[in-house]
Structure 1
Amino acid sequence: ERAYEAHADIQLLAGDMMDLEGVGSFEAVTCFSDSICYMPDAPSVQQVFDEVYQVLEEEGVFLFDVHSQYQINEVFPEYSYHYQTDEFAFLWDSYQDAPDTIQHFLTFFVPENPSEEKVANNLFIREDEIHEERTYPLAEYVRMLENAGFSKVECYADFIDSEPNEKSRRWFFVCHK
């Protein structure tokens, strides 16, 4: 919306990242908010990297982020966050049943009729979601990116452009074709 409002001359596409055939070629591809972590297995992650490499122009750049193993295995298990106002409630609980994999159980209570200014009779609709995410060792991501053909892979951590360490929660990749 901000790009549109600013009349920015960029092309934005949304689609299946496992099948980018026919979408064109690009100077840059981004995939944020740990979207890669939603891939069901390592071969699927490899397929995404292969697809992205194919649509990048020469010297193109691929930017993405993932949860680190520390985040998935140490921070998220038994994580619980609950937030509520008079108009909304959000419950987030995370559980782990396998290494490097986490399940987030999200529950939202939203107004039955959101167009009304005040919630009539305090009636809410409950909406539940289950999100399963997985990650891999940093070296495995680099190996998969190199297998896809990327010539230079840089990795940073935790929104501050620092080198990843054993307690980094999120890894950010800058991959050059």
Structure 2
Amino acid sequence: MTEDINYEKWYNFIKNVYNKNNINPNTILEMACGTGNLTKHFAEDNYNMTCFDLSEDMLSIAYKKLRKYKNVSIRHMDMRNFKFNKKFDSIISICDSINYIIDKEDLKKVFLNVYNHLQNDGIFIFDINSYYKLSKVIGDNTFVYDKDDVFYIWENTFEDNIANFYLTFFVNGDGMYKRFDEFHQERAYQEKEIKELLKEIGFTKILVYDGLSQELPNDQSTRLNFLVIK
């Protein structure tokens, strides 16, 4: 399901942000690293990476992918209460992981944790699925995919700012299709809401872009990228 995500493009976007803001981070913390696809790009460029995720299944894949890199440390942690005895030059999180924080007070905890683990003049980079995307593009719609040996149905509802994702997979193995189901939720946040929370924590310089561009977002932007400097 993530084959359409261009991790190299994400990597180049983040590197460009560093360069434009005259930031040369030595230590980077990646929240919700998943299977380590983005982490690998930074590891290969000799950055000192610390990454964590809540999913043990994803981390097991990340361990296999990243174990050869001496400059990568992998942890099993939650964005809402992670704790390290050091601060980082940059903290990053991609692929709308922030939307998975359903409770607004929990999101405040995430941002406070980030603030406390970020060096002065450090940069926090993250993205969200926009309110428009979750409410109008994905919400109350059904999508069907048929790719190679995987067929799945993605049904969605949107209510009270929450997008509910109901996924049914049929995966071909040895000529037999096996069915399994997943349920996910994302909260649709307005750009203003995110900015208010960040300012409440203490962040002052907050920039927002339309996706992986240098353009300002508009009413139909589907992804918002936040660049936050402490």
Which string of whole-angstrom CA distances, capped at 9 and with x for unpartnered residues, describes residues 116-146 of structure 1?
A: xxxx2x2122121111111222111111001
- The one-letter amino acid of 1:124's match is Y
In our comparison, the structure showing a higher alpha carbon Rg is 1
Flag as ranges the 4+ runs of structure 1 deviating above 4 A.
none
Could you state the TM-score of these two structures normalised by the residue count of structure 1? 0.86
Q: Where does structure 2 lack aligned partners over 5 or more consecutive residues? A: 1-36, 53-76
Q: Name 1:12's counterpart in structure 2.
A: 50
Find the partner of 2:200 among 134, 138, 147: 147
Percentage of pairs with the same residue: 28
Q: Name 1:137's counterpart in structure 2.
A: 190
- The one-letter amino acid of 1:149's match is G
Match of 2:139, SS state, is coil
Kindly report the root-mean-square deviation, in angstroms, between the aligned alpha carbons of the 2 structures.
1.9
Contact persistence 2:42–2:49 (CA under 8 A): no
Q: Are 2:216 and 1:167 aligned?
A: no
Q: Distance in 1 between matches of 2:80 and 2:43?
A: 30
Contact persistence 1:20–1:52 (CA under 8 A): no
Could you state the TM-score of these two structures normalised by the residue count of structure 2? 0.67
Q: Where does structure 1 lack aligned partners over 5 or more consecutive residues? A: 113-119
Contact persistence 2:204–2:229 (CA under 8 A): yes
What is the number of residues matched between the two proteins?
A: 168
Q: Name 1:123's counterpart in structure 2.
A: 176
Match of 2:218, SS state, is coil
Once the two structures are TM-superposed, the CA of residue 43 in structure 1 deviates from its matched residue by 0.6
Counterparts in 2 of 1:14-93, with a 5 A limit? 14=52, 15-22=77-84, 24-93=86-155
Q: Distance in 2 between matches of 1:5 and 1:143?
A: 33
Higher relative contact order by CA 8 Å / sep ≥ 6: 1 or 2? 1
Bigger helix fraction: 2
Q: Name 1:110's counterpart in structure 2.
A: 171
Q: Distance in 2 between matches of 1:86 and 1:133?
A: 28
